[in-house]
Chains A and B, each alone.
Chain A
């Protein structure tokens, strides 16, 4: 695979896409798991399908459409949630379905033969193009810079929003900002694992990392590393066995989580038993 990697542009693109996806997953995944925003991220991801459809219909890059729609969903859900008076899971599910419905509608309205949209739904890391990469690099840089620049504020905001607000930290700003970062993360991940499979790559590395450390920075770093492992092992499996890359990555992530979870349970039990023995 290394030799082919040097030879083929598409494999180089795939590797870079995997690294970028792992970075945003590690940073934002940990945040959304801690802040319990996983379903909201799923809503934002699925809404972006409308943008993919619109891109095909009007003839611009579908990934740009996905970006616009997921940003719109992020701000829309954030606004309604903040205004209150309604349950956020209802709002999320409406955005979720509406985005998918719009995508189907736009593609149906397209003249001629319908495009192959499965690479957006289920990901196709081997077909990441230059345009996708530029957008992914941009989004990853913004997400990383945002997390690093405001790290201490994020930590206070995530741990106790109310107290942060009493301190005079602009929690409304951080809330919307986080929504925007989630939207960007989703866009980075769409090409790698697809809209439908995004949640696994967002949560599995963060959750596995969470079992090993209770330090926020370490958790993010471990998550980034794990994301890389999942992406490249998945990519290798998909390359070798000629199966869909997104599915391979997700199956690998989910099974790693289950194995770690079970192994940890065993370990804790053994530890407790040995402590009780003394």
Chain B
């Protein structure tokens, strides 16, 4: 891994990527580079392919055309490089598992490992991560008893347990209270110091004040560049139309974003 020293290393390099769900295109001819150390926000309407793009990066989606490279390798080749925080709506919250056990699953080994038990180190790492995200006191709760924010923090801790270089998050602040949302963003900027982050979000506050670069996705990549909420971006938001507005975000938030911390 002498690539690791290369400062211009691309964390993610996507070339002409197309993905179809049956006949319907989910992504068309996406070209996107994410620099190492970047903090990329992806916005776009529902069904615009945001989650699909994350899955393509993770190597979970079947690609019709194009290539995806993660630090120069095919996705899935080096599993330990990526941490993933899925959309929390799709999780089974009744499953009999505690918070601690969920975070520990991030320490599982690749492949098929009979009689695998977590080492003392693994357990220490899990506790450290729970402390880092601020929910260590809930470690032995069953996950059904967690609030939205706590659950989301647990998923972030689990993703970090993999010890990734690249962290992918799918709407981590949806159905999370305002306080947890601020804590999550604070944590992400802290993590960004030594980790590349890709964040799918509907949260314009995050776009205006958190991320280093912005991608706007509506099947095609409509915009990729600086996260400035100026007329140009507003225009490109209209290019990936209506969803942001349909989510109850009035236009003025785009301009008066500094004070407007409303989700």
Contact with A along B179-198 (1 / 0, CB 8 A): 00000000000000000000
Bound-complex Cα distance A216 to B143 (A): 13
A168 proximity list for chain B (CB < 8 A):
76, 79-80, 109-111
Asked whether, in the complex, the Cβ of B58 is within 8 Å of the Cβ of A216, the reply is no
A155 at the interface (CB under 8 A from B): yes
A46 at the interface (CB under 8 A from B): no
Interface positions of B from 104 to 156, Cβ below 8 Å from A: 105-106, 108-118, 142, 144
Asked whether, in the complex, the Cβ of B158 is within 8 Å of the Cβ of A163, the reply is yes
Asked whether, in the complex, the Cβ of B144 is within 8 Å of the Cβ of A152, the reply is no
B250 proximity list for chain A (CB < 8 A):
none
Interface range for B: 20 to 34
Bound-complex Cα distance A34 to B113 (A): 23
Q: Which of A159, A162, A165 contacts B102 (CB 8 A)?
A: A159
Indicate whether A34 sits within 8 Å of B112 (C-beta atoms), given known contacts A152-B117, A162-B60. Answer: no
Q: Which has the most chain B C-beta neighbours within 10 Å: A160, A167, A169?
A: A167
Indicate whether A153 sits within 8 Å of B116 (C-beta atoms), given known contacts A167-B162, A168-B79. Answer: yes
A134 at the interface (CB under 8 A from B): no
Asked whether, in the complex, the Cβ of B84 is within 8 Å of the Cβ of A166, the reply is yes
Minimal beta-carbon separation of A268 from chain B (angstroms): 14
Q: Which of A167, A173, A213 contacts B108 (CB 8 A)?
A: A167
Interface positions of B from 63 to 119, Cβ below 8 Å from A: 76, 79-80, 82, 84, 86, 91-92, 95-98, 101-102, 105-106, 108-118
Interface positions of A from 212 to 228, Cβ below 8 Å from B: 213-216, 219
Asked whether, in the complex, the Cβ of B106 is within 8 Å of the Cβ of A153, the reply is no
Minimal beta-carbon separation of A147 from chain B (angstroms): 12
Q: Which of B76, B82, B97 contacts A159 (CB 8 A)?
A: B97
Q: Which has the most chain A C-beta neighbours within 10 Å: B58, B96, B112, B118?
A: B96
Q: Which of A155, A162, A167 contacts B106 (CB 8 A)?
A: A167
B112 proximity list for chain A (CB < 8 A):
150, 153, 169-170, 173
Interface positions of A from 155 to 186, Cβ below 8 Å from B: 155-156, 158-160, 162-170, 173
Task: Show 7 residue pairs from A and B whose CB-CB distance is below 8 angstroms, ordered by the A residue.
Answer: A34-B96, A155-B105, A159-B105, A160-B86, A160-B105, A166-B59, A219-B96
| Pairs A-B, 7 closest by C-beta atoms | A168-B110, A168-B79, A214-B142, A156-B105, A214-B96, A149-B114, A216-B96
